[in-house]
Amino acid sequence: MYTIIQKVHVEDHNSFACRTYKTPHFETKWHKHEECELILITQGHGTALIGDYIGNYKPGDVFFMAGNLPHWFRKSEQKMIGTAVVAQFKKDFWGEAFLALPEMKDIHKLLSKEDIGIKINAGLEQKIAANLTELESAKGIDRIYKLMVCLQKISKPSAYEVITDRFTYTSSIDENSSIKDILDYSLKNYLKKVTLKEVAAIADMSIPTFCRFFKKNIKKSYFDFIRELRVGHACKLLHTIDTPILDICYESGYNSWAHFSKQFKAVKKCTPSSYRNQLLEPVLQSNE
């Protein structure tokens, strides 16, 4: 997949950027930048591709990405509006001496992690969302303070889930072009039957060469990639409590319940019904 090198614009009177991106500026494909990024999804839903991570995103989700980690928030529907509040900053913008202060230990540890992507846990999302929203309109030193508050809150290991780590991407321009064509095709057709023969043909490669090529660049096999897309789609459907799970199996590209259940459990470490029950528990507790 071709990696766009994005230049983050920072106003002369600020040391880092924090702004709302809305369609069509929300739709930046697979890209990276030297700045760390803290992003709050405020509108739209779809598939998040961050390093070698594939998962769903929805309003309220908060992600943190180290500098130069490729990512892409791909909307589920082309006509959908996507918006996000995004803070982008160089990890040493406040100076190494300040970052080395004892009080900055947790933040320093977080920012020192290379090629890491994390998803903030549900219990903390709303607090970070409020802080990021305030940060966007903050002025002067208050901007730095509010960013520090956000980073301090997410710096504890209990505050997040690591979704990608030590991801590297060093493809040539020609390889980037081939990966882009493969990924574009796959993201449009993953709910259908996709064969190695047809995707290898897109890259103009033999099947063995394609399999090695894909795993080298995406850090997983092609069918593992398709499986994660399908299971992610199933997870989104499982949020609707009135849709029978067997129907979700067929709507997620599977023709066999046994195969669907096995593939789902391999990705999510639980059965589809257990996953749905976990979603329902907070709702049931709130109604007691």
Residue 23 has φ and ψ, to the nearest 5°, of -45, 130
Both tokens of 213, joined, read 């090529």
The pLDDT-based confidence of 288 (bands split at 50, 70, 90) is very low
Domain boundary among 114, 131, 164: 164
Average of pLDDT values for 144-164?
94
In a domain, 286, yes or no: no
Q: pLDDT digits over 240-252, tens only?
A: 778 899 999 999 9
The pLDDT mean for the chain works out to 88
Is there a contact between 136 and 176 (Cβ–Cβ < 8 Å)? no
- Supply the angle between the helices 207-218 and 173-189 in degrees, to the nearest 10: 100
**What is the domain count for the chain?**
2
What is the reported pLDDT for 281?
A: 63
Average of pLDDT values for 106-121?
93
Is there a contact between 260 and 252 (Cβ–Cβ < 8 Å)? yes
The pLDDT-based confidence of 170 (bands split at 50, 70, 90) is low
**Count of beta carbons in the 10 Å neighbourhood of residue 172:** 8
Instruction: Please determine, for residue 97, whether its predicted confidence score (pLDDT) is greater than 60.
Output: yes
Residue 101: CATH number of its domain: 2.60.120.10
In a domain, 36, yes or no: yes
Average of pLDDT values for 181-204?
89
What is the reported pLDDT for 253?
A: 94
Nearest to 238 by CA among 201, 199, 210, 277: 277
What is the reported pLDDT for 12?
A: 83
Angle at 82 between CA 80 and CA 83, to 5 degrees: 155
SS3 99: helix
Both tokens of 214, joined, read 């894909």
Cα distance between residue 156 and residue 189, in whole Å: 39
Cα distance between residue 272 and residue 288, in whole Å: 25
What is the reported pLDDT for 171?
A: 54
SS3 229: helix
Residue 91 has φ and ψ, to the nearest 5°, of -65, -20
Is there a contact between 237 and 274 (Cβ–Cβ < 8 Å)? no
Average of pLDDT values for 177-205?
87
The pLDDT-based confidence of 167 (bands split at 50, 70, 90) is confident
Cα distance between residue 63 and residue 117, in whole Å: 7
The pLDDT-based confidence of 286 (bands split at 50, 70, 90) is very low
Domain boundary among 130, 164, 198: 164
Instruction: Please determine, for residue 34, whether its predicted confidence score (pLDDT) is greater than 80.
Output: yes
Residue 211: CATH number of its domain: 1.10.10.60
What is the reported pLDDT for 9?
A: 85
Q: pLDDT digits over 5-20, tens only?
A: 778 888 888 999 999 9
In a domain, 131, yes or no: yes
The pLDDT-based confidence of 89 (bands split at 50, 70, 90) is very high
Is there a contact between 204 and 197 (Cβ–Cβ < 8 Å)? no
- CA distances from residue 239 to 265, 279, 286 in whole angstroms, order as listed: 17, 7, 17
Domain around 207: 173-280
Is there a contact between 135 and 86 (Cβ–Cβ < 8 Å)? no
154 and 274 part of one domain: no
The pLDDT-based confidence of 125 (bands split at 50, 70, 90) is very high
Domain boundary among 164, 184, 215: 164
Cα distance between residue 267 and residue 111, in whole Å: 28
**134-166: buried (b, 16+ CB within 10 Å) or exposed (e) per residue?**
ebbebeeeebbebbebbbbbbbeeebbeebbbe
178 and 138 part of one domain: no
What predicted TM-score, i.e. pTM, was given to this entire model?
0.74
17 and 140 part of one domain: yes
What percent of the chain shows pLDDT beyond 70? Answer: 92
